[in-house]
Structure 1
Amino acid sequence: MKLAVIEGDGIGKEVIPAAVEVLDTLGLDVEKVPVELGYGKWEKTGQAITDDDLEVLKGCDCILFGAITTPPDPNYKSVLLTIRKELDMYANIRPIRPLPTVRGILDRSNFNFVIVRENTEGLYSGIEEIGQDISWTKRVITRKGSERIAGYACKLAKERKNRIVIVHKSNVMKSDKLFLDVCRETAASHDVDYSDELVDTMAYKLISSPEKYDVIVTTNLFGDILSDMSAALVGSLGLLPSANIGTKHAFFEPVHGSAPDIAGKGIANPIAAILSLMMMLEWYGHMSEAALVEEAVDAALTEGIITPDMGGAYTTKEMTCAVVDHIKKEMRK
């Protein structure tokens, strides 16, 4: 495996090294390629990401990514959107599951669902015009984009409970009718049970009865909002991993941001980055190693190793060491 390692900005420089330490403990044959991207690079060079950077990324199998600080500057080129489009990583995958000893807003642990979000079009098309009196963004929905994201959702559903929920707003935005129709057709062709919900109704139902859902497929903006909202069920945005999947490449990152207010203090929660590593291992086919990483995270939390964002007093390093120690112990058996 050839892995691009991008720490990014802020706490990305703390949580990605933590995930890499966990990866090194597994003893896999991985060639790590460090790549500097983000706000720090933009401050130094005037570019957050270059064409040469993209060529390096295209030469790797996958990417482990920290977090990026995005300044309010119209000349700043979005690193994430650039990578997603250039590497055609069309599927954003965000699993939402409870973690031991951590309680979200409902104080319950009977949910386990995954949000599959189209990642290259919709309202994040990047087709915009900004003016003093009017600004607009073009929302793009294509048959190709809808077919392949629905296909990915169906693939996941086949590995789980064989059902999906299609989330849309076709009663108001008629472009969503294409998305809805194509998702229905794709689910039927894959012999996957399906239903659909309007996005506002879905938001309510995910908070009130999350245990009823398994695989949710939706458009770019809706998936972004629903997945961040669902972090409240788990307990924090700092606990959620994610994957961006394409036909040739994949990109794994914690959902949280660069958190400059706590950067450098050694208290950032590395769990989302470590669980993103777990998703990377699953994608590459290292299923037993991925399961071991997940087990090690759960074991650390069960032992009460909790960082300040969850009400504890353990540091980033101490949390990482607890995960690493569990893996080493299990590998010696």
Structure 2
Amino acid sequence: MYRITLIPGDGIGPDITAATKTVLAATGVDIQWEEKLAGETALREYGELLPEDTLASIRKNKVALKGPLTTPVGTGFRSVNVALRKEFDLFANLRPARTYQGVKSRYDNVDLVVVRENTEDLYAGIEHMVGEDAAESIKIITRRGAERIVRFAFEYAVREGRKKVTVVHKANIMKCTDGLFLAVARKVAENYPQIEFEDRIVDNMCMQLVQKPELYDVLVMPNLYGDIISDLCAGLVGGLGMAPGANIGTDIAIFEPVHGSAPKYAGQNRVNPSAMILSAVMMLKYLGEKEAAARVEQALAEVISEGRVVTYDLGGSASTSEMAGAIVDKMSG
């Protein structure tokens, strides 16, 4: 039995969370959910965006599944998601991008994973004004931070049967920061001779991904490049509605769809639950429930490919819960 913290989230979060719970229940994996609040929902209920009760639940259970959160303007947090990553030192952001037949895309053979360092780089938020007419932001890359994210990428490649790791950087210009990241990556790669290793300059990487994404497998990079390139990769496979994600630390992991909370669709039971369900697939793999994960992903792929019981963005007219029901039917059929 797994006890897992569940954060339904804001906006469309409760709808896609309910659909995901339905699908996971059909796997037979024994999950006991501990439901907690965060984001705007928590602010209304408790007067704070990240209640200590929610943090304590994640700290205890070590695994959480969460819907999208809204960070209200003027609350002090840059982002609730960033605050969670900092609180639990979730240094690895994992973003798979895979094409599914039936999802509108210019490509039909993408299957890659972006591994983004989650705690350093310009995203550390160390910035200030220099007088009235200039602003400065400090880019932080540490040897420890670079080593653990690159090692995470190689270990992921080994575990998932992937063949190649590409490190993405701008070391030709930022010779100290990105130079350190690249040097550390090359050193770590020596310990994984079975995995092909290469490096790409970030601007060239963007062009390569648009021209020939099928050549790439696991990409590892500092925080800012990861934020940009992971969205680029989501665009290759049909958009954020098909983009799952995970934030993983040494002993705690939080799984979540990449898209936002889309408040205008809240409670309408009509949005695509795929990104949330695929995030749950990642969670099952993390827990070692690989067979259940494969069944869910295969059923989702079949439902989307058939195109009969899918949501409006996938060309259908089904509700969120109806699409979840069709996935369950595939699993039991």
TM above 0.5: yes
Which position in structure 2 is the counterpart of 1:15? 16
Which position in structure 2 is the counterpart of 1:91? 92
Counterpart of 1:325 (choices 326, 329, 332) is 329
RMSD, aligned CA: 1.7
Compute the TM-score of the two structures, normalised by the length of structure 2. Answer: 0.93
Contact 2:102 2:306 in 1 (8 A): no
Structure 1, unaligned runs of 5 or more: none
* Counterpart check, 1:247 vs 2:253: no
Matches within 5 A, 1:177-188: 177-188=179-190
Aligned-pair CA distance for 1:266: 1.4
SS at match of 1:124: helix
Distance 1:85 1:229 in 2: 25
Q: Deviations over 1:73-122 (max 9, x none)?
A: 25235221121122121111111111121121x2x312211111111111
Which position in structure 2 is the counterpart of 1:226? 229
Contact 1:47 1:77 in 2 (8 A): no
SS at match of 1:320: helix
- Bigger Cα displacement from structure 2, 55-64 vs 24-33: 24-33
Aligned-pair CA distance for 1:190: 2.1
Equivalent residues, number: 327
Aligned-pair CA distance for 1:137: 3.4
Q: Deviations over 1:10-62 (max 9, x none)?
A: 11111111111111122222221111000232245442013342222100131
Distance 2:78 2:224 in 1: 19
Which position in structure 1 is the counterpart of 2:172? 171
SS at match of 1:8: coil
> What letter is aligned with 1:96?
A
Distance 1:214 1:146 in 2: 19
- Bigger Cα displacement from structure 2, 231-240 vs 22-31: 22-31
Structure 2, unaligned runs of 5 or more: none
Compute the TM-score of the two structures, normalised by the length of structure 1. Answer: 0.93
* Counterpart check, 1:122 vs 2:126: no
Contact 1:300 1:322 in 2 (8 A): yes
* Counterpart check, 1:53 vs 2:60: no
Which position in structure 1 is the counterpart of 2:101? 100
- Bigger Cα displacement from structure 2, 283-292 vs 15-24: 15-24
> What letter is aligned with 2:217?
D
> What letter is aligned with 1:256?
H
SS at match of 2:124: coil
Distance 1:221 1:14 in 2: 31
Matches within 5 A, 1:137-148: 137-148=137-148
Which position in structure 1 is the counterpart of 2:296? 293
- Bigger Cα displacement from structure 2, 203-212 vs 70-79: 70-79
Aligned-pair CA distance for 1:246: 1.2
Contact 1:48 1:77 in 2 (8 A): no
Distance 1:138 1:74 in 2: 24
SS at match of 1:186: helix
Distance 2:31 2:47 in 1: 32
Which position in structure 2 is the counterpart of 1:202? 205
SS at match of 1:195: strand
SS at match of 1:36: coil
Contact 2:37 2:51 in 1 (8 A): no
Aligned-pair CA distance for 1:197: 0.9
SS at match of 1:148: helix
> What letter is aligned with 2:157?
A
Distance 1:278 1:95 in 2: 11
* Counterpart check, 1:32 vs 2:33: yes
